[in-house]
Amino acid sequence: MGYMLSDLIRKFDHLSDELLFAVRRGDECEVDRIDAQLQPLTRRIFDFQAVSHSEIMAQIGFFNRLAMNNCEDDFSVKRYTTMMSTLFMRYLGANGGQRPVSAALEQIPVTDGYDPCLQELVLDSIPERVAVIGLDYRYIYCNRRNAEFHNKQPSDFIGKHMLDVIDQKRFQTRAKPRIDQCFGGARINYSYETPDAHGRLFEVNCRMTPLMGPDRVIAGAVLVLNMQPMFARMA
C-alpha cells in the first residue's frame, strides 16, 4: 500500500526532529543513519504525483519550507527552489490546457522547470513578463520574456534574491512594500517606468496576485508585467 503525501511529509518531519536531537547529543552515527533516510524520502516526496490542488500546494509548500529553513546555504536554496520550479511546471497543464494563461496564473502556481514541454513554450511565448516570488523574496519562476528583459537566462533567476536582480533602493521603496501587501492577501496593480538591459525605456504595468498554499495560506506572489515601449534613453 502506497503512502499518502501527508504521510511522507509527517515521516520527514519526524525524522528531522530525531536528527536535531541526535545533533544536539553529538551522536554522529545516528546523524548519518537518519540523514541516509532523509535523502531518499525527499526524493519520494518530490516524485509523488499529486491529484488535487491541496496536494499540489502541500508538495510545493514542503520544498518552499526546506528552502526557507536552509536560507543561509545557497546550494540548498538553489536545489529546493529548482525542485519547486519543476513541480510548478509539472502541474501547470493539469487542467488540460483549457484555461487562458492569465486565469491559470491566478489559479495555480507556474514556474519553469527548463524541460522542453508545451507549458513552457506557452509561458515563453506570451508577451508579458512573468515571475513567481517566494516569501523569502527569492525567485521560484521566471519566464523567458522576463529573463530577456534583464539580458539573462531563466535559469539564472531560480533561487536568487530580488536584490540580486534590482538595486536596493528600487527593492526597498518600490518592490518590497507592494510584495509585502501581496503576501498579506492584496491584489496589487501599479505602473512605473524603467529601462531594460539595453537602455530602452518602458512603461510597465505590474499585477501581483497572492500564490495560495494549503488551507488558503499564502506561499508567495505571482507577478505579471506588461510593457509598453516609450523612447530610447538618452546617453
Q: What is the pLDDT of residues 192-217, one digit of tens each?
A: 988 887 788 888 999 998 887 656 67
* pLDDT tens per residue, range 7-23: 999 999 999 999 999 99
- Note whether residue 133 is domain-resident: yes
pLDDT band at residue 190, thresholds of 50, 70 and 90?
very high
For residue 105, the tally of other CB atoms under 10 A from its CB is 23
- Tell me the percentage of the chain whose pLDDT exceeds 70: 80
- Note whether residue 79 is domain-resident: no
- Note whether residue 148 is domain-resident: yes
End-to-end Cα separation, the chain, in angstroms: 67
pLDDT band at residue 232, thresholds of 50, 70 and 90?
very low
> What is the domain range of residue 148?
88-232
The set of residues, in sequence order, having a beta carbon less than 8 Å from that of 233 and lying 6+ positions away, is 195, 199, 200, 201
Give the C-alpha separation, 21 to 14, whole Å: 11
Give the C-alpha separation, 23 to 19, whole Å: 6
CA distances from 107 to 24, 70, 123, 159 (A): 43, 28, 15, 23
Query: Stretch 22-49: mean pLDDT, rounded?
Result: 91
pLDDT above 80 (res 220):
yes
- Note whether residue 12 is domain-resident: no
Give the C-alpha separation, 174 to 204, whole Å: 13
pLDDT above 60 (res 234):
no
Type of residue at 84 = M
- Note whether residue 169 is domain-resident: yes
Three-state secondary-structure class, residue 214: helix
Query: Stretch 140-159: mean pLDDT, rounded?
Result: 86
* Total structural domains within the chain: 1
**Beta strand ranges found along the chain (DSSP E):** 129-134, 139-142, 188-195, 200-212, 218-232
- Note whether residue 208 is domain-resident: yes
Q: What is the pTM of this model?
A: 0.57
- Note whether residue 33 is domain-resident: no
pLDDT above 70 (res 116):
no
Q: Which of 38-52, 55-69, 117-131 has the highest mean pLDDT?
A: 38-52
- Find out whether 130 and 160 touch, Cβ atoms under 8 Å: no
pLDDT above 80 (res 108):
no
The residue with cell 536554496 is: 77
- Tell me the percentage of the chain whose pLDDT exceeds 90: 26
Geometric angle at alpha carbon 43, from 38 and 48, rounded to 5°: 125
Give the C-alpha separation, 106 to 86, whole Å: 18
CATH of the domain at 200: 3.30.450.20
- Note whether residue 221 is domain-resident: yes
For residue 209, the tally of other CB atoms under 10 A from its CB is 20
